[in-house]
Amino acid sequence: MSFSATERRRAEHITAQYPQSRSATLPLLHMVQDRDGWVSPQGIEDVAEFLGLTPAIVLGTCSFYTMFKTAPVGRLVVSVCTNIACLVNGGPDLFEHLRREYAHSDDVYVEEVECLAACDLAPVLQVNYEFHGPLTGETAVALIERYRAGELKARTISGTRQGSDH
Ligand code: FES
């Protein structure tokens, strides 16, 4: 399998913005992550084939960035900061609360992250890279449930708006 005709047009549009096609590796990885919900081995193959690179080179780039998920995650990626400002304002408790709450969830993936550069919101989290804070365990669950119910529109797990060209 490779890109569909629509994906190919989109990939060509993205690649045309760079002097060297391989510079489009990251946006194309975002594109396949949005398509598949994670960067699957097939997604790596598709990007490599389109750019004329080996899958190993694309995987090597992909594996450097935590924004790329190389295993399936939920529709909602909740990134909880536990770095200094969040640490002293309850970030670790918030992370543990959410980790337990969504331990068996198919659509919510909770991860611990380093400083999100939004320390004034501590303790802060992101839902698909959208910032929220300060939150307690209870207000965070209420927030996530609003995303699950569709009351709040989530970005893709790459943080882009649906239908965006990145
Ligand atoms: S320490 Fe949490 S956002 Fe900076």
Fold matches, 5-62 and 76-148: no
In the sheet that holds 108-113, the strands lie side by side as 108-113, 76-81, 125-127, 130-132
Per-residue pLDDT tens digits for 87-133: 999 999 999 999 999 999 999 999 999 999 999 999 999 999 999 99
Q: Rounded to two decimals, what is the model's pTM? A: 0.85
> Ligand 1 centre and the CA of 128: distance in Å?
17
Tokens of 24: 């489009």
Atom of ligand 1 nearest to the CA of 81: 2
- Ligand 1-lining residues (CB < 6 angstroms): 81, 83-86, 115-116, 118-119, 122, 124
> Ligand 1 centre and the CA of 59: distance in Å?
29
> Ligand 1 centre and the CA of 115: distance in Å?
4
How many angstroms separate the CA atoms of 82 and 80, rounded? 6
Tokens of 73: 């995650």
Where do the domains of the chain lie?
Answer: 5-62, 76-148
Statement: 76-148 belongs to CATH 3.40.30.10: yes
> Ligand 1 centre and the CA of 81: distance in Å?
6
Query: How would you label 7-43 residue by residue, b for 16+ Cβ within 10 Å and e otherwise?
Result: beebbeebbeeeeebeebbbbbbbbbbbbebbbbeeb
Per-residue pLDDT tens digits for 15-35: 999 999 999 999 999 999 999
Domain covering 5-62: architecture: Orthogonal Bundle (1.10)
How many angstroms separate the CA atoms of 165 and 144, rounded? 26
Mutate to test the pocket of ligand 1, among 79, 93, 116 (most ligand atoms within 8 A of CB): 116
